[in-house]
Chain A
Amino acid sequence: EPEVTQTPSHQVTQMGQEVILRCVPISNHLYFYWYRQILGQKVEFLVSFYNNEISEKSEIFDDQFSVERPDGSNFTLKIRSTKLEDSAMYFCASNGKMAGELFFGEGSRLTVL
């Protein structure tokens, strides 16, 4: 069964460092998303991406965040200068149509020290 894969599964970084989280969406999907879940809190929408541009973003997704689809398979989330409060589980998701259910990856845990 096709699945969304994410790397790394866990990354520890120092405050102020840049981090890139990588995702390989399901191959025929066209819509890509990043969500995050801070420990003990809700899963929160960050950004959606379609046709090589951001479709929608939340208030959380400020200038320190960026997304990119550098090639035909990868979808990345970059955090330019990490803060302690960026520590969370980051989930990538994709779907093959604008509506309907999203397929989530297993997540990348980011710990900022």
Chain B
Amino acid sequence: DQQVKQNSPSLSVQEGRISILNCDYTNSMFDYFLWYKKYPAEGPTFLISISSIKDKNEDGRFTVFLNKSAKHLSLHIVPSQPGDSAVYFCAASANGGTSYGKLTFGQGTILTVHP
């Protein structure tokens, strides 16, 4: 199942710089997108979401950009902090996010922020 793809398995960034995590999707029915962060031995924690009627959503240091024509979204973290080091998952849902919580996840990207 390659409907949601995160092509970069890992990303290393210096503290204070920008982290950009990318995600591509193929299913045109997806219209609601989420980013989750996961630490070892913990469950995924919701970060930020975006509906397909928008192209940008911002929450503090986190901004998600959506390019519907390219079926691409990205998560920007500015400035990056060592505590941001975790696995980041992109997830997508159809029907305005109302498909009964059926999220399709990407493989995840391991972000390491160096002090």
Residues of A within 8 A of B (CB): 4, 31, 33, 35, 41-45, 48, 50, 55-56, 58, 91, 93, 95, 98-107
Contact = CB atoms under 8 A, between A and B. Distances in A.
Contacts of B41: 106-107
A101 B36 CA distance: 9
B28 interface: no
A71 B36 CA distance: 30
B105 A106 contact: no
Contacts, number: 64
B34 interface: yes
B34 A55 contact: no
B69 interface: no
A101 to B, nearest CB: 4
Contact of A91 (B43, B100, B106, B108): B43
Interface of A is mostly: strand
A102 B89 contact: no
Q: Please classify how large the interface on chain B is, using the bins under 10, 10 to 19, 20 to 34, 35 or more.
A: 20 to 34
Interface in B80-115: 89, 91, 93, 96-108
A55 B99 CA distance: 9
B101 A104 contact: no
B10 to A, nearest CB: 14
A106 B42 contact: yes
A48 B102 contact: yes
A58 to B, nearest CB: 8
A42 B38 CA distance: 13
B72 to A, nearest CB: 18
14 contacts: A42-B108, A43-B89, A43-B103, A44-B1, A44-B105, A45-B104, A48-B100, A50-B100, A100-B49, A101-B34, A101-B49, A102-B103, A103-B46, A106-B42
Given A43-B105, A99-B98, 16 more contacts: A41-B107, A43-B44, A43-B103, A48-B100, A56-B100, A98-B100, A98-B101, A99-B32, A101-B46, A102-B46, A102-B103, A103-B46, A105-B43, A106-B42, A106-B43, A107-B42
Q: Please provide the 9 A-B residue pairs with the shortest distance between their CB atoms, ordered closest to farther.
A: A104-B43, A99-B97, A101-B46, A55-B100, A48-B100, A43-B105, A56-B100, A99-B98, A104-B44
